[in-house]
Structure 1
Amino acid sequence: MGWLNRIFDMVTPGGEPETIEAPPPDDPSGPAQAYSVPKAPEDPSTPPERLGLNGEYDQSGLAKRVALALDQNPDTDDFERLWVAQTGGTVVLKGEVPSQDDLDRVVNVASGVYGATGVNTDEVTITG
């Protein structure tokens, strides 16, 4: 079960998601990675953290786009005991991961999603 399904009871939107190629935020010289970005907003005044998967206004838009990006990345496609939420433009991770490397990969993907201004990991426990 993927992130979108587990957290938001949604399936991955149909069609090919729009992506951008960008270097990992913590290593600009590293290999480029694809990150999901929303379609153009239906209302141009919609804040980036409120853009839904299809450009609509969505209170949890950023968290859903982060979940989609985590689903699309084979290194972060699912951690059953980790959850994603948002507070404004900050991605909030809660739960457990097996290692610091796993957490670093999730943070790297989450911080690269359009509209993310930061990632809070205060409520994540490393179990390994």
Structure 2
Amino acid sequence: MAWLKRLFGMEKPKDAKVNPQTKQTTSTAKGSATAPASMPTQTDSIPPERVGLNGEYDQSGLAKRVALAFDEDSQLDDIDTLYVAQTGSTVVLKGKVPNQQILDKMVGVAKGVQGATAVDTKQVSMG
């Protein structure tokens, strides 16, 4: 089963990317996403760890993009005993992997996702 489907209950969205271009959000002083032309607006950029699969804001954006990266790697796409989460810009891997070589590959792939500053593997076991 695909990583995105297993972890987030979703199919891969059309045009989803591991490292998409960020969409900018426009907000007003009151925090509204839309504003009349007479109100001043400010363009906010999305923190890299909160960028979703299509460049939109997503609280779990980094974890979803790492899951997509795992789906796109033929050596990792069928591992179903590991879970991906995030704490800020740290990717957290939890569960079980077959061997150290696979874990090293997963860490390398996760580190290659924009917004990931570290990968925590303390909750991963081998076997």
Q: TM-score range by the shorter chain?
A: 0.7 to 0.9
Instruction: Give the deviation of 1:42 after TM superposition.
Output: 2.9
Deviations 1:72-124 (A, max 9, x none): 01111131110000000000000000100010111110010000000000000
Task: Report what 1:41 is aligned to.
Answer: 23
Distance 1:88 1:49 in 2: 7
The answer to whether 1:76 aligns with 2:48 is no
Distance 2:49 2:63 in 1: 8
Q: How does 1:83-102 map to 2 (within 5 A)?
A: 83-102=83-102
Length, aligned pairs only: 109
TM-score, normalised by the number of residues in structure 1: 0.81
The answer to whether 1:5 aligns with 2:22 is no
SS state at 1:108 partner:
helix
TM-score, normalised by the number of residues in structure 2: 0.81
Task: Report what 1:21 is aligned to.
Answer: none
Distance 1:76 1:65 in 2: 14
Task: Report what 2:67 is aligned to.
Answer: 67
Deviations 1:35-74 (A, max 9, x none): x202322334210000011111110000000000100011
Q: Note the residue ranges of structure 2 that are not aligned, 5 or more in a row.
A: 26-43
Q: Note the residue ranges of structure 1 that are not aligned, 5 or more in a row.
A: 19-35
The answer to whether 1:107 aligns with 2:107 is yes
CA RMSD of aligned residues (A): 1.2
